[in-house]
Structure 1
Amino acid sequence: MSPILVALFSVFLSLIPHVILSSDPDPIQDFCIPHTTSNVTRTTRSDMIPCKNLVDVIPEDFIFSGIKHPGNFSDTGLSAISVSPKTFPGLNTQGMSFVRADLKVDGVNVPHFHPRATEITYVVQGRVYSGFVDSTNRVFARIIEKGEVMVFPRGLVHFQMNVGRSTATVFGSFNSQNPGMQKIPSIIFGSGINDKLLEKAFGLTSKQIGKIRKKFLPKT
Structure 2
Amino acid sequence: MMEVLLRLLVTQVILLALATSFVSCYDPNPLQDFCVAASETNRVFVNGKFCKDPKSVTANDFSYSGLNIARNTTNFLGSNVTTVDVNKIPGLNTLGVSLARLDFAQGGQNPPHIHPRATEILVVTKGKLLVGFVSSNQDNNRLFYKVLKRGDVFVFPIGLIHFQMNVRRTRAVAFAGFGSQNPGTIRIADAVFGSNPSIPQEVLAKAFQLDVKLVRFLHIVFGPPLW
Structure 2 counterpart of 1:8 = 19
Is the 2:127–2:172 Cα contact (8 Å) retained in structure 1? yes
Is the alpha carbon distance of 1:12 and 1:90 closer, same or farther for their aligned partners in structure 2, counting shifts above 3 Å? same
Which of residues 157, 179, 194 in structure 2 aligns to 1:153? 157
Q: Does 1:70 align with 2:76?
A: no
Is the 2:134–2:143 Cα contact (8 Å) retained in structure 1? yes
TM-score (norm 1): 0.83
Which of residues 194, 216, 219 in structure 2 aligns to 1:210? 216
Structure 1 counterpart of 2:184 = 180
Q: What secondary structure, in the 3-state scheme, does the structure 2 residue paired with 1:60 have?
A: helix
Distance in 1 of aligned mates of 2:180 and 2:221: 31
Is the alpha carbon distance of 1:27 and 1:111 closer, same or farther for their aligned partners in structure 2, counting shifts above 3 Å? same
Is the 2:37–2:49 Cα contact (8 Å) retained in structure 1? no
Distance in 2 of aligned mates of 1:46 and 1:200: 37
TM-score (norm 2): 0.81
Distance in 2 of aligned mates of 1:162 and 1:27: 39
Larger radius of gyration between Structure 1 and Structure 2 = 2
Is the alpha carbon distance of 1:34 and 1:201 closer, same or farther for their aligned partners in structure 2, counting shifts above 3 Å? closer
Which of residues 172, 186, 195 in structure 1 aligns to 2:201? 195
Is the alpha carbon distance of 1:13 and 1:92 closer, same or farther for their aligned partners in structure 2, counting shifts above 3 Å? closer
1:118 maps to a residue whose letter is T
Is the alpha carbon distance of 1:147 and 1:12 closer, same or farther for their aligned partners in structure 2, counting shifts above 3 Å? farther
Structure 2 counterpart of 1:60 = 60
Is the alpha carbon distance of 1:211 and 1:48 closer, same or farther for their aligned partners in structure 2, counting shifts above 3 Å? closer
1:75 maps to a residue whose letter is F
Aligned ranges 1:68-217 → 2 under 5 Å: 68-73=68-73, 74-135=75-136, 136=139, 137-191=141-195, 192-217=198-223
Distance in 1 of aligned mates of 2:157 and 2:143: 13
Encode CA deviations 1:36-73: one digit per residue, 9 max, x unaligned.
499xxxxxx9657132333x333232221132223343
Give unmatched runs, 5+ long, in structure 1. 19-24, 39-44
